[in-house]
Chains A and B, each alone.
Chain A
């Protein structure tokens, strides 16, 4: 992929550094400690934290925020612990996801999860089998009342985000 100077947004790295969690992104010296120990990179080379930070520093705004790879971090914090420059990579990924969402890019998997929580109050539907088991154990039935969850969605702005016609992230080749 050829990149010309006008493709790059020199402000992007500063924006990320201003975002909560992204503060130390500019300290990265590209040693690759993060990628070498990353359990996600091991099974899917599309997720390469060193490369993502490189793209941030270069200013590849669209390619990063519209990507699906920023959503692949499993937040195991291994890179966070080992990074010699204390870049706090896991938090950088969170910052990037927050920025992506604000710009209307939500990964479909996360959208599906959010919608599930919105409609059931949890990530899975409670079936009758579970309710009966709970009764046997002397536990209360799980109410189907999701009013509180809806309220949380509203207060946090998640409801609005989900209702917006958001573009889905596009796949971008990592390096």
Chain B
């Protein structure tokens, strides 16, 4: 620290300034090396970088700026473009993700083609990661800047592609985040398709009995929203439907969906329930987490939207016994049962997409020491919601599964599958954020039902940050809930009465607590949902190390993805509670509506160009393209590759692979990359 760095060397030719000699008729490049305050300058000797590139061929001027992105910094560049007749600009600063747009706009304002800008990332890829070695970091910064200059000399002016905008949106996932996003969009006048893979919308929130910290009945506040989805003329709900394929880009996505057969005509079914009454086949009720049974023809829960029954072919006798039974078909007065339904492909054209695919609860049976799945009275926090819910297996009486008796002593164990380094593939390293408050709520609900119950919460840290959360935690303590700072190593079941022995160290008293409970609730973490990896691939959006989807910027673009026109809402991005999910849904909807409000969209012209003279029609590009963005077609000159601009994402695989060198990547030509690489290797 305390590194001396000069003022902006605006008029100091001897400090690596103007170099008219040696520029001849070639490119006229201005190089600007940024201090970024001390972000770069603390580690990289900025003046040395400037001086090292000042005399290079084509470089007319090289300067260093304290903040290149500031008004002053930008003005210096604009003035140089004008006064020194620059035709290319190299900026060595932060990642282009942050300021490429700023500087491209500056170029355009100054009368230069914005694609004649090249950035060298000497912050994220240099100073921030080599803070311990100033000498090496400076050498690397020189190398990166020289490489950028070498490439800049070969850049070609490009015009941005202009695309039209389809004024509609698709929301993937019909939990509270997806429902909210769809309603926000629809209320802004956007035609919105809400795609849900389950037979009903509602998601996990529909399974909850109450919500923290207000103890609102979950479905009482959710079901009006679900009804609104059904009633809103701007929303088209596609339930029991999955995304198969997505092509195109912001403004014009082409989506292929797979509608699974319900074997019920949604339009005819009035959910009278007569069919289920007569249906002879039973199945475990997944909505009640397997603690009760439903029929093979069923509605997931009474408030389901669409309010239509569905037939489960895994249990229905028509399917399992070869066309027999059909009792439901006979009994349905409205003729809604339709065994002839098949999977159906639906295609949509949308301008923007919101991903709201939610989460998957952690599989508690992976923590074998807690015996979930082996000991009937060990349940998860989600099981608890169903067991205490009026619509659950005990009709709202809190009872324990082994004998359906009322539990008198109940323990909660926190961080099951969260904050866990040990089991890297199944559990999260992160804090799942909601489990502490879920437990505080559930422990309170136990006390509400049975004031004499003894309730212990075993935790590592209670995390109750949120409006009204800490007050709720305090209220729990005042009800007599005992919070133990200590995590039990294991649960041992007494096979006689299915009681559960829990041993834990109470760090606060220093005592080992050896207590026996009637029931133990595991506060399970939130995991990325099954199928998210595949969906992310179809949409070409990035994921973060935790497995959830990566936001555009952790602070400033929390509802955007790495792909323009695709947005995030709710737990698809990271575990969050209901208010945060709804807030992010609003943010995603606003961002999507912003794109849809414009009539045309400009895109970087990064797709490749095929030289038909050189193309031999070998189909290698077609086989390798992950997006179906290049196809070989018969022309009058034989078989030639053709770029499908809508599908191409500009990844460059075809260009790299083309053995005939017929495919040229615009803005990333071989010549540009070779020049860049050669310059990098020159600097030892």
B-binding residues in A (CB < 8 A) = 27, 29-38, 41-42, 45, 48, 50, 78-79, 81-86, 175
B344 is an interface residue with CB less than 8 A from chain A: no
Q: Is the CB of B461 within 8 A of A29?
A: yes
Residues of B close to A175: CB separation below 8 A: 510
CA distance A82 to B503 in the complex (A): 14
Tell yes or no: B489 within 8 A of A by CB: yes
Q: What is the minimal beta-carbon distance from A34 to any residue of chain B, in angstroms?
A: 8
**Measured CA separation A22–B503 after assembly (Å):** 27
- Of B420, B421, B461, B486, the residue contacting A32 (CB under 8 A) is B486
B213 to chain A, nearest CB (A): 25
Q: B208 to chain A: closest CB distance in Å? A: 26
Interface pairs A-B: 6 shortest CB-CB: A37-B489, A32-B505, A32-B486, A86-B421, A31-B487, A36-B489
Q: Which residues of A contact B504 (CB under 8 A)?
A: 32, 36
Write the B399-436 contact mask toward A (1 if CB under 8 angstroms, else 0).
00000000000000001000111100000000000000
- Contact at A82–B460, with CB atoms within 8 Å? no
Point out the residue from B369, B460, B490, B510 that lies within 8 Å of A31, measured CB to CB. Answer: B460
Q: Output the nearest chain B residue to A86 by Cβ-Cβ distance.
A: B421
Q: Report the Cα distance A49→B668, complex, angstroms.
A: 57
Query: How far in angstroms is the closest Cβ of chain A from B127?
Result: 25
Tell me, in angstroms, the Cα distance from A34 to B504 when the chains sit together. 9
Kindly list chain B residues whose C-beta atoms are within 8 Å of the C-beta of A32: 485-487, 504-505, 507
Which one, B461, B488, B510, contacts A33 given CB within 8 A? Answer: B488
Contact of B345 with A by CB under 8 A? no
CB distance from A56 to the nearest CB of B (A): 16
Pick the residue among B369, B419, B461, B505 that contacts A48 (CB under 8 A): B505
Q: Which of A34, A36, A37 has the most CB of B within 10 A?
A: A36
Name 11 extra pairs, CB < 8 A, besides A30-B507, A36-B504, A42-B512.
Answer: A31-B415, A31-B486, A32-B487, A32-B507, A34-B489, A35-B505, A37-B489, A37-B490, A50-B507, A82-B369, A82-B489
Give, as a whole number of angstroms, the nearest-CB distance from A141 to chain B. 47
A45: B residues at CB distance < 8 A: 512
Q: Please list 5 pairs of residues, one from A and one from B, whose beta carbons are closer than 8 Å in the complex, sorted by A's number.
A: A33-B489, A34-B489, A35-B486, A82-B422, A85-B421
Least Cβ distance of A22 to chain B in Å? Answer: 16
**Contact at A78–B422, with CB atoms within 8 Å?**
no
User: For residue B507, which residues in chain A have a CB less than 8 angstroms away from its CB?
Assistant: 30, 32, 50
Which residues of chain B have a CB within 8 Å of any CB of chain A? 369, 415, 419-422, 460-461, 485-490, 503-505, 507, 510, 512
Q: Which residues of B contact A29 (CB under 8 A)?
A: 419, 460-461
Identify the interface centre among A41, A45, A79, A84: most chain B CB within 10 Å of its CB. Answer: A84
- Alpha-carbon distance A42/B501, docked complex (angstroms): 15
Q: From residue A107, how far is it (CB to closest CB) to chain B in Å?
A: 24
Write the nearest CB–CB distance from A122 to chain B, whole angstroms: 35
* Interfacial chain B residues near A36, Cβ < 8 Å: 486-490, 503-505, 512
User: Is the CB–CB distance between A41 and B461 below 8 Å?
Assistant: no
Q: Which residue of B lies closest to A80 (CB)?
A: B422
CB of B505 within 8 A of CB of A50, answer yes
Contacts of B503 in A (CB 8 A): 36-37
Contacts of B490 in A (CB 8 A): 36-37, 82
Q: Which residues of A contact B422 (CB under 8 A)?
A: 81-86
Distance in Å: Cβ of A33 to nearest Cβ of chain B: 4
Q: A152 CB to closest chain B CB, in angstroms?
A: 35
- Report the separation of the CA atoms of residues A45 and B503 in the bound assembly, to the nearest whole angstrom: 14
Separation of A48 and B486 alpha carbons in the complex (Å): 13
A114 to B576, CA, bound (A): 56
Q: How far is the CA of A1 from the CA of B95 in the complex (A)?
A: 53
CB neighbours (8 Å) of A41 from chain B are: 505, 512
* Nearest CB of B to A82, in Å: 6
* B415 adjacent to A84 (CB under 8 Å): yes
A32–B503 Cα gap in the complex (Å)?
Answer: 11
Q: How far is the CA of A27 from the CA of B420 in the complex (A)?
A: 11
Q: How far is the CA of A148 from the CA of B504 in the complex (A)?
A: 47
A50 CA to B511 CA, complexed, in Å: 12
Query: In the complex, which residues of chain A have a beta carbon less than 8 angstroms from the beta carbon of B420?
Result: 84
Docked complex Cα distance between A35 and B512 (Å) = 8
Chain B residue nearest to A85 in the complex (CB)? B421
Q: What distance in Å separates the Cβ of B614 from its nearest Cβ neighbour in chain A?
A: 55
Q: Residue on A with the closest CB to B486? A: A32
In the bound assembly, the distance between CA atoms of A175 and B509 in angstroms comes to 10
Closest Cβ neighbor of A41 among chain B residues: B512
Minimum Cβ distance to chain A for residue B431 (Å): 11
* Inter-chain contacts of B486 with A (CB < 8 A): 31-32, 35-36
Contacts of A34 in B (CB 8 A): 489
Question: Complex: how many Å from CA A48 to CA B461?
Answer: 20
CB distance from B410 to the nearest CB of A (A): 18
Q: Which residue of B lies closest to A37 (CB)?
A: B489
Most buried by A among B415, B490, B507, B510: B507
Q: Name A79's closest neighbour in chain B (CB-CB).
A: B489
Q: In the complex, which residue of chain A has the Cβ closest to the Cβ of B488?
A: A36
Give chain B nearest CB distance to A24 CB in angstroms.
8
Residues from chain A with a CB closer than 8 A to the CB of B485 are 30, 32
Q: Which residue of B lies closest to A29 (CB)?
A: B460
Chain B residues with CB under 8 Å of A50's CB are: 505, 507
Residue of B nearest to A24 (CB): B421
A contact residues around B421 at 8 Å (CB): 27, 84-86
| A117 → B minimal CB distance (Å) | 34
Give the chain B neighbours of A27 by CB distance below 8 A.
421
Q: Which residues of B contact A42 (CB under 8 A)?
A: 512
A66 CB → nearest B CB, Å: 21
CA distance A80 to B303 in the complex (A): 47
Query: How many angstroms between the C-alpha atoms of A140 and B422 in the bound complex?
Result: 47
B161 to chain A minimum Cβ distance, whole angstroms, is 49
CB closest chain-A residue, reference B460: A31
* A156: min CB distance to chain B, Å: 32
Closest approach, in angstroms, between the C-beta of B413 and any C-beta of chain A?
Answer: 10
Bound: A84/B489 CA distance, A? 10
Chain B residues with CB under 8 Å of A33's CB are: 487-489
Q: Select one of A38, A48, A81, A84 contacting B487, CB under 8 A.
A: A84
The minimal Cβ–Cβ distance linking A53 to chain B, given in whole angstroms, is 12
Which residues of A are found within 8 Å of B419, using beta-carbon distances?
A: 29, 84-85
CA distance A35 to B511 in the complex (A): 10
Give every chain B residue within 8 A of A48 (Cβ-Cβ). Answer: 505
Q: Would you give the shortest CB distance from B418 to chain A, in whole angstroms? A: 9
**Cβ-closest chain B residue relative to A30:** B507
The docked-state distance in angstroms from the alpha carbon of A105 to that of B512 is: 30
- The distance in angstroms between the C-alpha atoms of A84 and B461, with both chains bound, is 13
When C-beta atoms are compared, the residue in chain A nearest to B502 turns out to be: A36
Q: Please measure, in the bound complex, the distance between the C-alpha atom of A69 and the C-alpha atom of B512, giving whole angstroms.
A: 18
In Å, the complex CA distance between A79 and B512 comes to: 16
Q: Give Cα A32–Cα B414 distance, bound, in whole angstroms.
A: 13
Name the distance in Å between A72's Cβ and chain B's nearest Cβ: 16
Q: How far is the CB of A94 from chain B (nearest CB, A)?
A: 19
Could you tell me the distance between the alpha carbons of A96 and B485 in the complex, rounded to whole angstroms? 26
Distance in Å: Cβ of B162 to nearest Cβ of chain A: 52
CA distance A31 to B504 in the complex (A): 10
Kindly list chain A residues whose C-beta atoms are within 8 Å of the C-beta of B488.
33, 36-37
CB distance from A88 to the nearest CB of B (A): 10
On chain A, the residues within 8 Å of B512 by CB distance are: 35-36, 41-42, 45
Q: Which of B369, B487, B503, B510 has the most CB of A within 10 A?
A: B487
